[in-house]
Structure 1
């Protein structure tokens, strides 16, 4: 039901919705009527799956209405993702070329810079020179291209952030931590 609730609230009020396992790196106030691609087709460069963990939409946006309509017509509580990421992907693939929907699909780097199957990699500290170089490059890519990082809680919830890991660097750079004193923790 959380999938329906996020859509209904966004449709009624507009604004920003994000899952609780998303770390915001940059302001989202510059974004308007956007959804993020979770993955792209490497052959043609088009998105292959969208995700609804981060949604930024105006009040009463017609795409949100189409999402709600699809939810009502096709609800299936027995299939993981059917009412969430697969739902938004189905709807957007149908309306993508239709006039009047005015929205943008952002690339995976915007909100999903690390695939769910590789999320553990950003919690690991450097394992040698080659790995350290990869961590540095990936961190710089995330800092320059990403508005947020989805942590895929189901995959990452039991993983500890190691010293020198990408997540460790993100936490150290985060304004929540730099503005708090250690005595208040």
Structure 2
């Protein structure tokens, strides 16, 4: 009896404990459920607000901006980060802008209107009207290398997809141009220039644009040693109704036409590249100031397709002064840079030093630190430029070191045949 009574008491007490414990558990569960519900409601409201912000402040402006072909100018308010570029919206208007980490403006990918650019080109150069307008205005214009298409067209060959662009419009494409007018015999240092472009730029194509084929042994060596060099015939352009006194100005004009419509890297034939230009390809345009009096050098120009800087520079040829040798080619871009330093990336020392007034550093001395350069300008006028590999093997000067670096991977004198 005693044992049974004790057992009944224990069972009764345990039932009471379970009842109390169960009540507490239910209250705790209800409390946690309410907290969880409040949290989920808050997250839902946050998600809805965030969605509206994305739609109305990012996606909708981008869609409207790209579809209406907005004019792209520097804005001030950041909308979305894309890594090396930022998409911004101006506080003063509804137009969008793409800006790289140097704050240089450029057109977004695939938004360059090539047909409109063709009209700009014709507005200065009447001979451009004779070019095949389909190359600029058909459905393939935006996605192809226009110089490649012109090459195939001139040679009566089908493209068969061979001219597709291999880079986006937000970088400078690895397309190299040389532009020459008049009878021209290639020299040894010009062969070195083309070899340097092949070696250090690794271009998708090298175009020599001229009104006649270059001549001479070193041109034949270019054709045999550099796969992919393409000659494009171009009749001599005109600059409005002006009489052009210097054929140099014809090349100055056509190089801008090619860069504006196609993008790429223009080189004078006395410009020697000494290392990769890839670090500069994300700039809208890269040039170098020779010095303030001479102006902005145009012997090496890297530019994106549709570059706003190149377009403004080209349009200034409507005010061409035929009696001023440097004005449109060197002074106009210098003055544009002075007005808006952020509109262009400069590599003055690494493009143009040693300068023309420092020629002894190239042609008489051996200690200039040329490996810091991207390129060397060979100041040929009146200077002892190496004229053959035989001379090069024996010459102990900076320019000889540079040439041997390009041709033999070794700037030293000994061991080259």
The answer to whether the superposition gives a TM-score over 0.5 is yes
Q: What TM-score do the two structures reach when normalised by structure 2?
A: 0.34
Distance 2:409 2:336 in 1: 41
User: For 1:28-177, what aligned pairs fall within 5 Å after superposition?
Assistant: 28-32=277-281, 33-39=285-291, 49-73=295-319, 75-96=320-341, 101=343, 103-106=344-347, 108-124=348-364, 135-136=366-367, 138=368, 141-143=369-371, 145-156=372-383, 159-160=385-386, 163-174=395-406, 176-177=407-408
1:178/1:35 CA distance change after superposition, 3 Å: closer
Structure 1, unaligned runs of 5 or more: 42-47, 126-134
Matched residue count: 154
**1:171 CA displacement:** 1.7
**1:178 CA displacement:** 4.8
Distance 2:300 2:408 in 1: 23
1:13-48 residue CA offsets vs partner (Å, 9 max, x unmatched) = 00101111011101113213211121369xxxxxx8
Contact kept, 8 Å, 1:14 with 1:59, in 2: the verdict is yes
Determine which structure has more spread, i.e. the larger CA radius of gyration.
2
Q: What TM-score do the two structures reach when normalised by structure 1?
A: 0.72
- Structure of greater relative contact order (alpha carbons < 8 Å, 6+ residues apart): 1
CA-based RMSD of the aligned residues comes to 2.5
**1:93 CA displacement:** 1.9
The answer on 1:15 being equivalent to 2:264 is yes
Distance 1:60 1:155 in 2: 38
Structure 2, unaligned runs of 5 or more: 1-249, 387-391, 411-415
